């Protein structure tokens, strides 16, 4: 606290990220939903051949080569004009809050989001003066779609699959929400959509709904959390709105190296597909094993599982695993404090996790 902080800064409750071990400390890191596999080998090639003198020049404002790559990947539904690129999807989400929801508190407008969801949504809401209504999940952690219909004064933000529950809603349900809220923006945060089996994305709905914003990230499915690239896909007018806000804050959010690597990774479908299939396979194996040991494991469509140990308190198991050099995520919050969120690692890492848990039984 400092006397120089303004009132808002004093009152902020910032997001708390999962712990990052110090460099050189060897741990099995299953706490922040990073991808266990290396990014596309094309990225390495680009880095090796990168001409350093390029860095004298500012990057392209719009990250055009990344927009082009996303446009190509989903060319049956959208083009580059429907894509907005930012410094991680956290930044893209923040700009969405600013462009579409800011100052909702001065009116009777609200944003609806599940009460258990990505904890950045309340943080942005506080930062941008948005009234957030946190809608109770069903007791099995599923989303009740009807709660998001027939609320004309509400924007909506839903992570799909939801985090930390790992549970997904269907495209039919998303369509129902979009139809019920034609006058407000509906944000579908698809940070984990790549791990849905079979794969589906709300990007396919963008041509039909002018109120839909789909947000994706390179961090989880492309193994590029350290690069900081995310993007929104939406109708052109919404994209223009995001650009206006961006250009009122930081016109160059994505650096030259990140743009090149992101575009190359998006173009490398083979590596992407190989890694997501491997991850899904390990997730299914881990789910089965944990259930056998005595966990309740929710049905996951993400690269993590939300699991409740039935033979020990979750907080205790978290500490035990940490002492053994395995980091998982524990939230000491009401409704979810009996669960652990466990990122899916490599087969070897998950085997080590299972072994460490079995030793405690």
Q: How far is the CB of 191 from ligand PLP (least distance, A)?
A: 4
* Cα(239)–Cα(236) distance, integer angstroms: 5
List Cβ neighbours of 274 (8 Å cut-off, separation of 6 or more).
none
Structure tokens at 173: 């349900």
Contact pattern for ligand PLP over residues 178 through 197, marking x by CB under 6 A:
-----------x-x------
Distance of CA 191 to the CA centre of its chain: 3
Q: Which is nearer to ligand PLP, 258 or 317 (CB)?
A: 258
Q: Which of 28, 157, 163, 326 binds ligand PLP (CB under 6 A)?
A: 163
For position 59 contacting ligand PLP by CB under 6 A, the verdict is no
Q: How far apart are CA 283 and CA 347, in angstroms?
A: 9
Structure tokens at 304: 């993590």
The smaller minimum CB distance to ligand PLP, of residues 118 and 148, is found at 118
Nearer to ligand PLP (CB atom), residue 109 or residue 225: 225
Tell me 59's DSSP state: P
Q: Which is nearer to ligand PLP, 36 or 230 (CB)?
A: 230
What DSSP line would sit under 284-325, residue for residue?
HHHHHHHHHHTEEE----SSEEEEEESSS-HHHHHHHHHHTT
Rounded to an integer, what distance in angstroms lies between the CA atom of residue 312 and that of residue 355? 16
Residue 322 falls in which region: left (phi positive, over 0), alpha (psi -120 to 50) or beta: alpha
Phi, psi of 263 (to 5 degrees): -60, -45
CB of 176 to ligand PLP, least distance (A): 21
Establish if 219 lies at the interface with ligand PLP (CB under 6 A).
yes
Question: Is position 116 an interface residue for ligand PLP (rule: CB under 6 A)?
Answer: no
Q: Which is nearer to ligand PLP, 62 or 189 (CB)?
A: 189
Site for ligand PLP in 266-295 (CB under 6 A): none
| Number of residues engaging ligand PLP in binding (CB under 6 A) | 13
Residue 327 or 357 with smaller CB distance to ligand PLP: 327
Using CB under 6 A as the binding rule, whether residue 300 contacts ligand PLP is answered as no
Burial 240-264 (b: 16+ CB within 10 A, else e): ebbbebbeeeeeebbbbbbbbbbbb
State which residue, 250 or 310, has the beta carbon closest to ligand PLP: 250
Task: Please identify, using beta-carbon distances, which residue of 92 and 178 lies nearer to ligand PLP.
Answer: 92
- What Cα–Cα distance (Å) separates residue 350 from each residue in 28, 195, 289, 318, 347? 9, 17, 10, 15, 5
> Does residue 118 interact with ligand PLP by CB under 6 A?
yes
Does position 349 interact with ligand PLP (CB under 6 A)? The reply is no
Contact with ligand PLP (CB under 6 A) among 71, 155, 230, 241: 230
Q: Quote the tokens at residue 22.
A: 């110090």
Q: Is 63 in the site for ligand PLP (CB under 6 A)?
A: no
Q: Show contacts with ligand PLP in window 73-102 (CB under 6 A).
A: 88-90
Interface contacts to ligand PLP, rule CB under 6 A? 33, 88-90, 118, 159, 163, 189, 191, 217, 219, 225, 230
């Amino acid at each position: 606290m400092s006397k120089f902080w303004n009132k808002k800064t004093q009152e902020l409750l910032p997001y708390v990220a999962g712990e990052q071990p110090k460099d050189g400390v060897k741990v099995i890191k299953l706490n922040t939903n990073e991808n266990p596999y290396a990014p596309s080998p094309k990225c390495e090639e680009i880095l090796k051949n990168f001409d350093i003198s390029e860095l004298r020049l500012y990057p392209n404002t719009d990250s055009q080569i990344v927009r082009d790559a996303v446009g190509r990947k989903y060319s049956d539904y959208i083009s580059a004009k429907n894509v907005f690129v930012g410094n991680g999807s956290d930044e893209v989400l923040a700009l969405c809050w600013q462009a579409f929801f800011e100052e909702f508190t001065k009116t009777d407008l609200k944003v609806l989001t599940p009460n258990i969801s990505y904890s950045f949504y309340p943080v942005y809401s506080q930062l941008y003066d948005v009234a957030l209504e946190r809608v109770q999940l069903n007791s099995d952690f599923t989303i009740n779609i009807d709660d998001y219909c027939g609320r004309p004064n509400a924007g909506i933000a839903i992570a799909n699959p939801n985090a930390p529950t790992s549970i997904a809603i269907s495209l039919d349900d998303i369509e129902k929400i979009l139809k019920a809220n034609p006058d407000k923006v509906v944000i579908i945060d698809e940070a984990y959509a790549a791990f849905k089996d079979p794969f589906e994305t709300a990007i396919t709905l963008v041509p039909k709904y002018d109120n839909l914003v789909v947000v994706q990230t390179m961090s989880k499915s492309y193994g590029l959390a350290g690069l900081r690239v995310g993007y929104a896909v939406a109708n052109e007018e919404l994209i223009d709105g995001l650009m206006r806000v961006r250009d009122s804050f930081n016109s160059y959010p994505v650096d030259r190296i990140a743009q090149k690597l992101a575009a190359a990774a998006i173009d490398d479908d083979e590596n992407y597909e190989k890694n997501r299939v491997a991850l899904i396979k390990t997730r299914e194996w881990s789910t089965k094993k944990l259930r056998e040991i005595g966990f309740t494991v929710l049905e996951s469509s993400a690269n993590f599982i939300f699991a409740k140990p039935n033979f020990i308190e979750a907080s205790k198991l978290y500490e035990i695993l940490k002492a053994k050099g395995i980091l998982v995520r524990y939230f000491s919050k009401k409704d979810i404090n009996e669960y652990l969120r466990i990122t899916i690692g490599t087969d070897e890492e998950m085997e080590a996790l299972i072994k460490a848990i079995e030793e405690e039984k």
